[in-house]
Structure 1
Amino acid sequence: MSTIKTISAGEIIIKEGDEGNTFFQLLEGTAKVYKNYEEDDQVEVATLEAGQYFGEMAVIENFPRNSTVVADTDVQVDEIAAGEMNDYMSQHPDKILAIMKVLGSRIKKMDDEFLEVKKARDEVRKAGSDSRYDGFWARQQRLSIWMSPKSAQLEKPSAEELRQAAAAVAQNKTDKIETYNYGTIVFKQGEVGKCMYILHEGNVGVYSNYGEKDELKLLSVEPVACFGEIGMLLEEPRNATAVVETSGTQVEIIYPEDLEGLFKTNPERIDMIMKNLSYRLRSITYEYCKACQEIDEAAKNDRRR
């Protein structure tokens, strides 16, 4: 069962680097999220308010905490142990979508920030002028958190838990599957996302500007894997087009209102979706970190010359 706790202002709720076996919902008060807390390069990353979840990624993927959360005021939290996550969701099925939305919004935010960093990195690779870096850092002061010794040791996330979750889904197929022929457009760039998909057989390509001169293939989806979940969770326009690339491709369609029922009948699907979201967030964070470090190293090299 979950445990309600009261924590005084200034107390650490979770600490960066610790192994995480619980996650939290903030019920009352506010909390601050920090990288490198109480160190010379401490940076405040975010403010948490009542209703928000935190610490869930460490539970979903059994991964060390990636930040420190400190009570900004006296707070009340609901603490849920990893082993009690299924019981918690059984008692509060509406929380399944809420937790997924938290992860989805973090992915979207990190994606947006990574695009800006990637542009700056591409400029760095082309140019030799220090001024380009200075302008970038002026806009992106938070990037200093990725230059710390801790972040320099960041490893590319393993997909092993994601593979295990996918294997569990593959062993428990559903009859709610649609079969598509080659060339079928599953969803279009610009459409508002209303559902997500699990690919069971075949292949799906995801493209930017599909059918146009600047068409770009972003990724290939292979069984068993989720796709289209960010559009569904954020109810925003799709940022790409998904196209079937093998006849006989089998796809399961999942709507937000299906999640509670799925948890009762096919909990392994919820587990896979959660792990997929967590893995995506860790992966984009890793790429973001690498790009920031490349920019920083290039700037340092220029200044030495």
Structure 2
Amino acid sequence: MGLKESLAKLSMITIKRGEVLFKEGVPSNGAMFFLFEGQLDIYKHIDGKHSKLRSILPGEFFGEMAIINNSPRAASIVTVSEYAKLGIINRGSFVKMSQESPEFLFLLLKRVIERLYETDSKIRAIKKREDDEKKGITASSSEPEEAPPPSADDIPMIPVEGLTDDPTEEDIPRV
């Protein structure tokens, strides 16, 4: 069985614009996700400010640290498109996908390594910009300023506990 077939078996959730899937620092529920439709943004507290690290686009996995070591969430995830359709990957479905689709682990590992480099670079740039601002240095950049993130404190997290890996017919994506 290939990766597309494995993804088609995932339980699905749909979340609306402005909803927070999870918040940085909260205990993990042991689930990672695959984005089928929509766009999500990743925010992280850096030096007391919410900073956008990057966007998650369709076809991406995220939240894998929850599967590997059940650690608290490393960042907050907010829906920025009208809606986002996500597949839920719990530990059982992760193991099954790994066995049925060896390319899944390779793609996941490759993407995790790429994101580590991207995130490290982004955090360094944010800290440098803040240090420069403290010193009174104004950086000339063609990169637009990040918009402030939505207030995550006022938006409830999406409950994914208790969901199963048994999709209904309408949950199966046409990938």
List runs of 5+ in structure 1 lacking aligned partners. Answer: 125-129, 143-305
1:51: which partner in 2?
A: 59
- The C-alpha deviation readout for 1:36-60, integer Å capped at 9, x for no partner, is 5xxx933322111101111112321
1:2–1:81: 8 Å Cα contact kept in structure 2? Answer: no
Alignment of structure 1 residues 59-208 onto 2, 5 Å: 59-73=67-81, 74-112=83-121, 133-135=135-137
Could you say which residue in structure 2 is the equivalent of 1:7? 15
User: Residue type of the partner of 1:63?
Assistant: S
Structure-2 change in CA distance of 1:137 and 1:54 (3 Å): farther
Query: Is the 8 Å Cα contact of residues 26 and 50 (structure 1) preserved in structure 2?
Result: yes
The DSSP-based 3-state class of the residue aligned with 1:98 is helix
| Residues 2 and 88 in structure 1, CA contact (< 8 A), matched pair in contact too | no
Q: TM-score, normalised by structure 2?
A: 0.60
CA–CA distance in structure 1, aligned partners of residues 76 and 123 of structure 2: 22
Question: How far 1:66 sits from its partner (Å)?
Answer: 1.3
Alpha carbons 1:23, 1:53 under 8 Å: kept: yes
RMSD: 3.4
2:37 equivalent in structure 1: 28
Cα shift at 1:110: 4.0
Deviation at residue 27 of structure 1 after TM alignment: 0.6
How far apart, CA to CA, are the structure 1 residues paired with 2:37 and 2:21? 14
Q: Name the count of aligned residue pairs.
A: 130
* Matched letter for residue 10 of structure 2: S
Structure ranking higher on relative contact order (CA contacts 8 Å, 6+ apart)? 2
Counterpart of 2:111 in 1: which secondary structure?
A: helix
- Note the alpha carbon deviations across 1:231-274, whole angstroms, 9 max, x for none: xxxxxxxxxxxxxxxxxxxxxxxxxxxxxxxxxxxxxxxxxxxx
Return the offset for 1:131. Answer: 8.0
| 1:251 matched residue in structure 2 | none
The alignment's TM-score, normalised by the length of structure 1, stands at 0.36
Closer, same or farther in 2 for the Cα pair 1:82/1:18, shift >3 Å?
farther
- In structure 2, list runs of 5 or more residues that go unmatched: 1-8, 147-175
> Which of these two proteins has the greater Rg computed from alpha carbons?
1
Q: How far did 1:3 drift?
A: 1.1
What is the match of residue 42 of structure 1? 50
How far 1:62 sits from its partner (Å)? 1.8
Judging changes above 3 Å, is the alpha-carbon distance between structure 1 residues 116 and 94 closer, same or farther for their aligned structure 2 residues? same
Structure in which a larger fraction of residues adopt helix = 1
Structure 1 residue 103: Cα displacement:
1.0
